[in-house]
Amino acid sequence: MKRTLLSTIAILFTCTIAFAQSSASSSSISSSSDQKMNNVKISLTSLVFSNFQLQYERSLTKRIGVVLGYSFIPKGGVPFKSQLNDLTSNSSDNQGMLDNAELGYSAITPEVRFYLGKGYGKGFYIAPFYRHLKYDITGVNFEYSSNVVPSKENIDMGGKLTANTFGLQLGAQFNLGKHIILDWWIVGPHYGTSKGDFDGKTDRTLTPFEQAELQKELDDIELPLSDIDAKANPNGATIKISGPWGGIRSGISLGYRF
């Protein structure tokens, strides 16, 4: 299913580029000879969250351009930890399950821009886009009652969550000089689906009592709008997550045109 989805996206993206190239008239080619057709950009607003967002844009015609974006967050502590602890657990025993967790993130975002103003990468635009993102999470802690001393033990869980979304970006791009540009992502809602698999292993076989206690902690997990299948077993536990995924792209990027 995943390969089919990505193949369909690639075909549609390629067809859009081919159509844009074939529809360029001789006058467009002539007028583009003095234009700078490429630019590279970095998002300034996302740097506050240690999120590095990079883009390359190529103008195909006066009105149409293609963009490929890549963003990543280096593996580190989970941001907004206390708020997420409150959101993901309805048990006071699990309020600190993200205290030692680490999070890494990456996303690839191709888009096709249709410029409404001056064109050749300048003016207001609308841009349908696809985003594939992946979260790598480790160190999620669950505490459960044990048959042995000490009476409480912990299990650390980790895994990956991926999401595929489609959206529409509204924005504007301006020249700040001969080569410097400003790209304003005004608003870009996107929506799709997500899937995650997490597991944790213990260094010994859990007794039926310990499995039952661990299962109680797993049952306290709450994620809005998501389906959670969490199961304890003699060797630890597994968690499977599925459900809708969405967000809004917004921000300001600074770039170099060439």
Span 204-226, average pLDDT: 91
Q: Are 96 and 142 in contact (CB under 8 A)?
A: no
Question: What's the rounded Cα separation, in Å, for the pair 144 and 22?
Answer: 64
Q: DSSP 3-state assignment of 213?
A: helix
* Element housing 83 (H / E): helix 81-88
Amino acid (1-letter code) at residue 79: P
Q: What percentage of the chain reaches a pLDDT higher than 90? A: 66
Question: Is the model's pLDDT at 254 over the cut of 60?
Answer: yes
The answer to whether residue 5 sits within a structural domain is no
Span 116-139, average pLDDT: 95
Residue 68: beta bridge partners? 56, 110
CATH code, domain carrying 42: 2.40.160
Average per-residue pLDDT in the chain? 86
The answer to whether residue 84 sits within a structural domain is yes
The answer to whether residue 10 sits within a structural domain is no
The answer to whether residue 141 sits within a structural domain is yes
Q: Are 97 and 89 in contact (CB under 8 A)?
A: yes
Tokens 């009476």 sit on residue:
151
pLDDT at 94: 55
Instruction: Specify the pairing of strand 64-77 against strand 52-59.
Output: antiparallel
Report which DSSP code applies to 100.
Answer: T
Question: Is the model's pLDDT at 141 over the cut of 70?
Answer: yes
The answer to whether residue 94 sits within a structural domain is yes
* Element housing 29 (H / E): helix 26-32
pLDDT at 175: 94
The answer to whether residue 220 sits within a structural domain is yes
Q: Are 68 and 38 in contact (CB under 8 A)?
A: no
Question: Is the model's pLDDT at 8 over the cut of 50?
Answer: no
pLDDT at 91: 54
Distances (CA, A) of 118 to 39, 100, 121: 16, 50, 8
Q: How confident is the model at residue 29 (pLDDT cuts 50, 70, 90)?
A: very low
pLDDT (tens digit per residue) in 62-118: 999 999 999 999 998 887 666 666 656 555 555 578 888 999 999 999 999 999 988
Q: How confident is the model at residue 221 (pLDDT cuts 50, 70, 90)?
A: confident
Question: What's the rounded Cα separation, in Å, for the pair 55 and 252?
Answer: 12
pLDDT at 27: 40
Q: Are 184 and 173 in contact (CB under 8 A)?
A: yes
Look up the domain containing 164 and give its range: 34-257
* Token pair recorded at residue 248: 């809004």
The answer to whether residue 16 sits within a structural domain is no
Q: Provide the domain count of the chain.
A: 1
